[in-house]
């Protein structure tokens, strides 16, 4: 029996007990048939791999939305490498200590929150662009990026308050329905009712 390595956990196991994900490539074999690449996974590892793949696609979509918004906001054709590095550093939570960058992975601010904050400060960003003359596109980007970073906590707090309010509204609706059901079921006779004497 042939041993193959799991693409996720890197442990070797029998080929028959592994799940194989096949992909047809553009390359051809010597006989002219399309070449197929296979990735092998344990069943548990394959579900983790699919979750990770889905999460990365979601991140990429959110980054693309942010990228398109920033191009429109700054009237640019493309964002240069320094701009993307600044966005990625904020997303990853990378910090500089004594002129050395400590890189992290996905521990910072999500792209969705950055986009929401940019939309929140859009009027302020337009005002900044009208009232200031920037020498380069980088200076304009950095100034507005700094403004966005300063407002992230306000947007995050507003989102938390919104979620809390939604949970409370759901709880209140459930309680109101319970109270209405209890009121309908309980029909007490009033002791001071004089209609029986009449």
CA angle (117, 86, 82) in 5-degree steps: 130
* 5 strand-pairing partners: 12
List, for residues 128-175, the tens digit of each pLDDT value: 999 989 899 999 999 999 999 999 988 888 888 888 888 888 777 766
120 and 151 in contact (C-beta within 8 Å)? yes
* Mean pLDDT, the chain, integer: 84
Q: Where are the alpha helices (DSSP H) in 8-136?
A: 43-74, 81-92, 111-120, 122-131
Tally of CA atoms within 13 A in the half-sphere of 87 that contains its CB: 23
Tens of pLDDT along 6-55?
Answer: 888 988 888 888 888 888 888 888 888 888 888 888 888 888 888 999 99
Q: pTM score > 0.75 for this model? A: no
Place 65 in a pLDDT band, splitting at 50, 70 and 90.
Answer: very high
CB count within 10 Å of CB 68 equals 11
Band (111; pLDDT cuts 50, 70, 90)? very high
Q: Looking at the predicted structure, is the pLDDT value of residue 180 above 60?
A: no
């Amino acid at each position: 029996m042939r041993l193959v390595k799991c693409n996720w956990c890197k442990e070797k196991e029998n080929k028959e007990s592994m799940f194989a994900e096949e992909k047809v490539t553009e390359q051809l074999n010597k006989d002219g048939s399309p070449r197929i690449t296979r990735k092998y996974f344990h069943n548990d590892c394959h579900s983790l791999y699919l979750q990770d793949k889905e999460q990365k696609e979601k991140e990429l979509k959110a980054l693309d939305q942010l990228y398109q918004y920033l191009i429109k906001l700054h009237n640019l054709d493309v964002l240069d490498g320094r701009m993307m590095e600044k966005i990625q550093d904020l997303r990853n939570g990378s910090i500089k200590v004594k002129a050395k960058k400590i890189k992290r992975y996905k521990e910072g601010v999500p792209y969705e929150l950055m986009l929401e904050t940019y939309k929140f400060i859009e009027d302020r960003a337009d005002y900044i662009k009208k009232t200031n003359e920037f020498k380069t596109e980088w200076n304009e980007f950095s100034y507005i990026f700094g403004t966005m970073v300063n407002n992230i906590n306000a947007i995050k707090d507003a989102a938390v308050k919104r979620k809390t309010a939604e949970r409370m509204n759901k709880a209140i609706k459930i309680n109101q329905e319970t109270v209405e059901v209890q009121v309908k079921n309980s029909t007490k006779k009033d002791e001071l009712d004089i209609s029986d004497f009449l």
